[in-house]
Structure 1
Amino acid sequence: MLMRCLCLIALCLALPLHAADLSIDAGRGAHIWTTSELLARPDARVVTIPIDVAFHRTMQYRAVPLRALLPGLEPGDHLQFVAADGFSVDIAGDAILNQAGAIAWLAVEDPQQPWPALPGNKGGAGPFYVVWTHPAAAHISSEQWPYQLVLIRRTQHAATRFPATAPTASVPADSPIRQGYAVFQRTCFACHTLNGEGDARMGPDLNIPYSPTEYLRADLLRAFIRDPQSLRRWPEAKMSGFPTQESLSDADLNALLAYLRYMAQHKVAH
């Protein structure tokens, strides 16, 4: 019996620790990719990311061009990226199809060469992680680098799926409120719901029962969004903030606050 247990332990240690499957559905039916299949693709290559969003340093990955895994993707399409920890973010097909220089890659963790742990005791980023080369060319925000991926699928625009999060039709197209709604979708909707609607389950609702604009002064709310630890030090906090103009410009932050103030007057009871 002891010898059998030792053999089982040795076998478990020899097996890959992070081999996994990723489901991708770009509108033509789901395709399940395994770690080994992705690593063996002829278009897989080593990419260098000078300022990695998750690791905050230069990283190298074995990765596949994300566009190559999304046959039929067209401008105007929207894709939902779902992570194992409840993080969910939509990325416009236009960004992935961008021809100005930004390239989205699906980084694949090799079980034989696992990635290091994420800083801040956040676990691992693998087995699948969307990384970008030259992200500024498509105005890619830090929330559009989802890791621990389990699912990528084509979806409808957020305003169609979650109408209670959208400004009413009377709000002009060029209003800061509409700009703020776009910023909200790009930066906040990945972790939070609003008016009880949304896919993410990492953070609290940002309108029910109260909007943060109703209980925080504007200067404190700005500081919190830039650096959550500046307002409340909590080592286990998951929100990393948006400290730089590249991650969230002052203009976008102003628009976001305009949207949140507007939605505070448009609560929806569920």
Structure 2
Amino acid sequence: MKSLLCACLLWLCLPLPAHAAELRIDLGHGAKPLTTAQLLARADATTVTIPDDVAFHRVMRYRAVPLRALLPGLRAGQHLQFVAADGFAAEMPATLILNDQGAQAWLAVEDPAQPWPALSGSGKDAGPFYLVWTNPQAAHIGPEQWPYQLATIRVLGGVDARFPAIVPQAAASTEVRHGFEVFKRTCFACHTMNGEGDSKLGPDLNLPYNPTEYLRADLLRGFIRNPQSLRRWPQAKMQGFPTQQALGDADLDALLAYLRYMAKHKATH
């Protein structure tokens, strides 16, 4: 009896097999779970080739389902949030998924019989669900719009309405407002601002101090391009934005302008 009890306890402690993984999709009518097996068995599941994968930095092939097919009734005015198991929370307008410019979003599904390789440098897994894009340049899809380890996709209100403390005032300059758009696209998936945001991955970028308050502009610019240029930390999660395609110089200038602006507009709550 004692041996049987120990065996049962050991079984309960084992991790769930990959086929038991679930992705939860909430389009505003309650969350609907979809399992790995269900997604792989769909008639529209196919093999897609990604020439320069953001997570693996090489050619990758996936069994994937068109994301649009998993979001019936999605409308152009809506907003989506993609939440990963590690706390990453990517915010995207529905127009990115619905675009007719040639870029297509796919939900890559890790097959337990053919697991993906570990992510280089971390040993972590990108699965079981990963948002990948074919022809991403057609819609200016950036690296922050490729969330992996996906756990939840949900329709929410827009970022500006949900988090008013991160929004520049109407009198803010055009450059600051441009920087705010860059911030939402590139930073808000990992960081909060003025204590607002859903991400659990990185620190707040304004409380108690804004990075523009303790880093020289050239060091901060270099850090955003390559975090290891400021602090050598192999375990660091921030990947940086080294290329013009990932973050152009004009966008980086505007982002720094937004951060400097927010340093003077800290939340009081």
- Give the TM-score taking structure 1 as reference length: 0.93
Find the counterpart in structure 2 of residue 201 from structure 1: 200
Report the CA distance between 1:27 and its aligned residue. 2.5
- How far does the alpha carbon of each residue in 1:53-107 deviate from its partner, in whole angstroms, 9 at most, with x for none? 0011110000000011011111121100001111111111111111010000000
Matches of 2:163 and 2:121 in 1, distance apart?
32
Report the CA distance between 1:16 and its aligned residue. 3.7
2:20 match: secondary structure: coil
Count of residues in Structure 1 that have an aligned counterpart in Structure 2 = 266
Matches of 1:139 and 1:219 in 2, distance apart?
26
Find the counterpart in structure 2 of residue 69 from structure 1: 70
The percentage of aligned residue pairs carrying the same residue is: 68
Does the 8 Å contact 1:47/1:60 carry over to 2?
A: yes
Report the CA distance between 1:9 and its aligned residue. 9.0
Report the CA distance between 1:122 and its aligned residue. 4.8
Matches of 1:201 and 1:267 in 2, distance apart?
20
Structure 1 gaps, min length 5: none
1:127 maps to amino acid: P
Matches of 1:51 and 1:82 in 2, distance apart?
23
Matches of 1:8 and 1:41 in 2, distance apart?
35
Does the 8 Å contact 1:18/1:126 carry over to 2?
A: no
Matches of 1:165 and 1:264 in 2, distance apart?
11
Change (3 A) 1:17 1:178: same
Does the 8 Å contact 1:16/1:112 carry over to 2?
A: no
- How far does the alpha carbon of each residue in 1:89-132 deviate from its partner, in whole angstroms, 9 at most, with x for none? 11111111110100000000011111111111151000000000
Find the counterpart in structure 1 of residue 268 from structure 2: 269
1:262 match: secondary structure: helix
Find the counterpart in structure 1 of residue 30 from structure 2: 29
Aligned pairs for 1:71-86 (under 5 A) are 71-86=72-87
Find the counterpart in structure 2 of residue 144 from structure 1: 145
Coordinate RMSD, CA, aligned: 2.2
Find the counterpart in structure 2 of residue 221 from structure 1: 220
Does the 8 Å contact 1:192/1:200 carry over to 2?
A: yes
Find the counterpart in structure 1 of residue 247 from structure 2: 248
Matches of 2:203 and 2:9 in 1, distance apart?
43
2:251 maps to amino acid: D
Aligned pairs for 1:86-235 (under 5 A) are 86-171=87-172, 175-235=174-234
1:151 maps to amino acid: T
Change (3 A) 1:3 1:28: closer
Report the CA distance between 1:17 and its aligned residue. 3.5
Does the 8 Å contact 2:22/2:34 carry over to 1?
A: yes
Matches of 1:51 and 1:247 in 2, distance apart?
13
Change (3 A) 1:242 1:18: farther
